[in-house]
Amino acid sequence: MKRMIQTQRGLSTVVATALMLSAVAVLGTTLVLWSNSNLRSYETSLSTTSSSNINRFNEFLVVENVFFCTTNCHGNVALNPPGINITLANYGNIGLNVTQIKVNDTRLVKTFTNAPLLPGKEFFWEGHLNWKSGKLQNITITTGRGSIFMVGVTGP
Partner 1 sequence: MRSRRGLSTVVGMVFALIALATSIGYITYSMNTLDQYNKSVIAKNQQTIDNGKETMQLYSVTITNNKFNIAVTNTGYLPINITRMWIQNTTATDWTNYYSINKLVAPGANLINIGQITSPAVYANPAYGYNIKLITSRGNSLQFNMGSPGTKPLFMQLAISPLQTNFASVNETLLYQVTNNLTSNNLLTNIKPILSSAICTGGATLTPTIGPLPAQYPTLPSGSTAIFKWYLTFSGSTTNKCYITASLQNGIASNFAYETVWVK
Q: Which residues bind partner 1 (CB under 8 A)?
A: 17, 21, 24-25, 28, 31-32, 35-36, 39, 42-43, 46-47, 50, 53-54, 57-58, 60, 62, 64-65, 67, 69-74, 85, 87, 89, 91, 156
User: Residue 102: which of 56, 156, 148 has the closest Cα?
Assistant: 148
DSSP string, 50-114: HHHHHHHHH--EEEEEEEEESS-STT-TTS-SSEEEEEEEE-SSS-EEEEEEEETTTTEEEE-SS
Quick one: 109 or 150, whose CB is closer to partner 1? 150
Residue 25 or residue 136: which is nearer to partner 1 going by CB? 25
Q: Which is nearer to partner 1, 11 or 109 (CB)?
A: 11
> Please, what is the minimum distance in Å from the beta carbon of residue 106 to partner 1?
26
Q: How far apart are CA 78 and CA 58, in angstroms?
A: 35
- Smallest gap from residue 138 Cβ to partner 1 (A): 18
